[in-house]
Amino acid sequence: MGWSSWNQFGDQIDEDLIKKTMDTMASNGLRDAGYVFVNLDDGWQHYKGNRSDNPLEVDPVKFPSGMKSLADYAHANGFKLGIYSGPGQMTCAGYTGSEGHEDEDAAMFASWGIDHLKYDSCCSSGESAPRSEMEEIALRMSKPLLAQSHPIVYHFCHCGWADVWEWAASEGANQWRIGQDISDDFNYPGNREKYYFDVLDMLDRGNNLVQYSGPGHWNDYDMLIVGLNGNSSQLVGTGASNIEYRTHFSMWAMVASPLLIGSDVRTLDVYSLQTLSNKEVIEINQDPLGISAETVGIGEDEDLQVYAKEMSDGSYAVALLNRGSFTAEMSVSPRRDLAMEWDTFRVRDLWKHKEGMYDVPYTVEVMPHEAKVLRLWEVPANASMCFFQ
């Protein structure tokens, strides 16, 4: 959990922005809600051009105090610092890459106190690159990272190509993107520019990949678009409604995707901040079992979907997702949907923060593009019944 600079700022980042981002996250509650990684994407480097022509150095104008000083500032304030590179001569934005210098760069990142590396292969290998080549590229950086005394989370980003989910963990990666870049859309017909995935595209992409994700090795559904409101400097898309952004956040929590805020935290409106700070929904995402929710019920027209995942305390998290254009009545039954022989169960709505006990399927109206996020527990026999309150 944390924040990434790219979606809002592209390569226009500097020391002052990153420190102010940390200060804001400390003061508005995001840090204490669990968002502790502050990740610099492309643009921190001094030089553009090939690594054969330039060393990999911090831009002295953008980051005059240096990267170790920034990492020290992060650690002193309860954060972890992430950085970006790629396996080519140049990165995706044309800055100096790490090709041929993996050992050197891993040691340098560790000496700075870096806690997370996004290693973006778009700069060296495209969609058609063979799997064997990509496995070797991932391994070339993971080996020196693992050799460092300072632990660094390794994000090997390959845009969901070459079936990366099948092999990235065995090559040392802790997370990998399951799809191409997300757009700032909830549901756009087709793919913008024949490339971008909207929220529902990404969710569908992950439905058959849940078995590859778990503690220490995660399917990454891409950065959160909550709060962008169509104003990203990098992403296409017209933005989404408050309900759609909240559904997006809810479903990323359900599928155990890394939660990286992509908007400017200094200007978040109250609703967006409340969405990102819901500790009960975050608890679903951060559950120690690390299970990704699966679809356990789908309506005839496929617009109504029930997702569920088991939690470490024996409860179940459930999302009732209405992808359609009309308000719909949806329900969840422990016997029907969870294969649990519960006679009575307690239901808590994690957005309304209200709960009640039931001995019949729990039924609720769900607005278009809304997800009702629930937590269900078995209730012992002879417990008193009560209405939702």
32 catalytically annotated = no
Four-point Cα dihedral 144, 145, 146, 152, nearest 10? 170
DSSP 345: E
- Residue 385 reports pLDDT greater than 80: no
- Residue 122 reports pLDDT greater than 90: no
Model pTM score: 0.96
The closest alpha carbon to 245, from 267, 220, 274, 216, belongs to 274
* Max Cα–Cα distance, the chain, nearest Å: 75
More confident residue, 307 or 127: 307
* Residue 255 CA: distances (Å) to CA of 36, 41, 245, 275: 20, 24, 16, 17
Quote the CA–CA distance of 215 and 292 in Å, as a whole number: 10
Q: Which helix (H) or strand (E) holds 309?
A: strand 304-310
For residues 174-210, one letter each, b for 16 or more C-beta atoms within 10 angstroms of the residue's C-beta and e for the rest, the string is bbbbbbbbbbbbbebeeebeeebbbbbbbbebbeebb
Confidence class for position 383, pLDDT limits 50, 70, 90: low
72 catalytically annotated = no
Please report the DSSP string for 9-45 in residue order.
HTT---HHHHHHHHHHHHHSSHHHHT--EEE--TT-B
Instruction: Calculate mean pLDDT across residues 299-316.
Output: 95
Mean of pLDDT over the chain: 96
Looking at residue 389, its pLDDT comes to 47
- Residue 140 reports pLDDT greater than 90: yes
Beta strand ranges found along 91-189 (DSSP E):
116-120, 153-157, 175-177
**Three-class secondary structure of residue 364 per DSSP:** strand
Confidence class for position 117, pLDDT limits 50, 70, 90: very high
* Count of Cβ atoms closer than 10 Å to residue 53 Cβ: 11
* Count of Cβ atoms closer than 10 Å to residue 377 Cβ: 18
What is the dihedral sign for C-alpha 15, 121, 224, 362? negative
**Three-class secondary structure of residue 297 per DSSP:** strand
Active-site position among 11, 41, 59, 181: 181
The tens digit of pLDDT for each residue in 206-233 reads 999 999 999 999 999 999 999 999 999 9
Confidence class for position 124, pLDDT limits 50, 70, 90: low
- Residue 276 reports pLDDT greater than 70: yes
Quote the CA–CA distance of 165 and 176 in Å, as a whole number: 7
- Can you say whether residue 275 is alpha, beta or left, with left for phi > 0 and alpha for psi between -120 and 50 degrees? alpha
Confidence class for position 151, pLDDT limits 50, 70, 90: very high
Active-site position among 41, 42, 120, 220: 120
- Residue 202 reports pLDDT greater than 50: yes
